[in-house]
Amino acid sequence: MNILKKRRREIFSESSLLFDGIIVGIMAGIVGVIYRLMIAYSEKVIYFFENNIWSNKIYILYLILFLLVMGFLSAYMVKKEPYSSGSGIPQVVAEVTGRIDTRPFRILFYKMFGGFFAALGGLSLGREGPSIQLGAMSGKLVSKLLRRDSVKENYLLTCGASAGLSVAFNAPLAGVMFSIEEIHKNISKKLVVSCFASAVVADVISQYVFGFEAIFKFSNLASIELQTYIFIAILGIFLGLCGTFYNLLMKFCLKIYNKITLNILLRPQIAMFCSLLMFIFFPIVLGSGHHLVEKLIYTTYGILFLIVLYFLKTFFSLMSFSSGVAGGIFLPILVQGAILGALFSKFVGTEYLSIFIILSMAGYLTAVVRSPLTSIILIFEMTQKLSYFLPLAICCLAAYYTANILGTKPVYEYLLGNLLSKEHIKFDGENEIEFELTIEADSALINRKICEIDWGKNIFVAEIERNAKHILPKGDTLLNQNDKLLIKATKESSDDFVNKFLEK
């Protein structure tokens, strides 16, 4: 009878979390679609100025005034809600790990309009980071409305993040994988199922509005011959080097911006001035760069132009992001990777142009973010080309290994550390390791309080799963048989913990 009751409780708990995930998917889908429509409108405004500033010189004056206003408005949004700045992904990670506590209504409003004003200014920023934060805040809002506990709230934050990426790129699988790899960093059946439900529901809403077409359209892809795989590995190494360069440049730009003692309302004007120069001299790098990928496929560019294009796009993207306004780096990174793929094809063979662009987007993203599975799945879903797994795997692994061996931090890990240092919060995430410990029938931990156990230095119990319920542990919490403990430890103390509790 007890076993039956326990099973019923497990089924109810899973069903409840699945239902919550669907609700989060609906809300995050609607919010994400609205934001995506706003960003699409901003691209029309950019196109309007781009096509009129030379036909009528008065439009240059209009553009200058417009950029000044957009810079002020985007900065004002960040001043009113500092956690709405940047991509939003580090903020979500900090929230899930309990380091910060944001107000979802404020984030939803200021993030949405802050990102919109920045995009209207032509800044080279992506929609995916803000979409992830907007989705996570939708999850937190649902949690508050349904009065869920803090453990389930973390689940719903992660569900919302999955839904956000799903809406941004029509990529539900990548949304789930990214949320697990980069945000929650802990896998469980409940988490995967609820995130998947949320991402799928959000994707259905997105595709109802935007259609079923691929984000990046490729046709007539050549088949890859066996001897080409050596060049794919070389491409991965090349992308690993370029990704490392990007991360170092990101670090440099943020340090420079942090040293500039400007009022927060004036900081984005530097990026807006760069945008003005790009409007006049090099408009191809304006905005996120989504349409630039298709231009690379169907337009023939020279080697020198592609080199200049890569450096200008990278520089403008970093200047835009470092200004602190709301906006992501995901899509600009993919575009930079596409440029590098087009450049690489000039030396190997232009018949592989489209393939190298696809491979380079995934490989460059892997080198910068250090999430190869997310990168591969994302490119599958964005291109709807499912027959290139082996080349993608080779390219991404080579890029990952190269970037890893060069020793730079993954970009979101660095951005998280930068965020927490500003908030004066101790950052030890780069040293954290998680373990799952199940208390078996012969364990000496049964019927003992958590405070009575010598876990070791820098080791603590983060969560207990008991009878399909999640419990926040306290010092006087008694441990029972079959409890599943989520343990967090530093790298330095992990070996001692393994020797003491896990090895038999």
- Which pLDDT tens digit goes with each residue over 117-126? 999 999 999 9
pLDDT (tens digit per residue) in 472-494 = 677 778 888 888 888 777 656 66
What's the CA gap between 300 and 280, in Å, rounded? 22
The percent of residues in the chain predicted with pLDDT above 70, rounded, is: 90
What's the CA gap between 274 and 268, in Å, rounded? 10
pLDDT of residue 14: 61
What's the CA gap between 217 and 385, in Å, rounded? 9
Burial of 313 (0-12, 13-18, 19+ CB in 10 A): buried
To which H or E segment does residue 309 belong? helix 303-322
pLDDT of residue 38: 95
Residue 424's pLDDT band (boundaries 50, 70, 90)?
Answer: low
What's the CA gap between 262 and 271, in Å, rounded? 13
Closest by alpha carbon to 195, among 221, 175, 209, 171? Answer: 175
Q: Is 460 helix (H, G, I), strand (E, B) or coil?
A: strand
Average pLDDT score over the chain: 86
Query: 176 near 192, Cβ under 8 Å?
Result: yes
Residue 430's pLDDT band (boundaries 50, 70, 90)?
Answer: very low
Partners of 469 in the beta sheet?
466
For the cut 80, the answer to whether the pLDDT of residue 280 exceeds it is yes
Task: Give Rg (Cα) of the chain.
Answer: 24
Residue 205's pLDDT band (boundaries 50, 70, 90)?
Answer: very high
Residue 99's pLDDT band (boundaries 50, 70, 90)?
Answer: confident
pLDDT of residue 1: 47
What's the CA gap between 296 and 360, in Å, rounded? 13
The percent of residues in the chain predicted with pLDDT above 90, rounded, is: 48
To which H or E segment does residue 432 belong? strand 432-438
Query: 395 near 359, Cβ under 8 Å?
Result: yes
Residue 294 makes CB contacts below 8 A (sequence gap 6+) with 216, 217
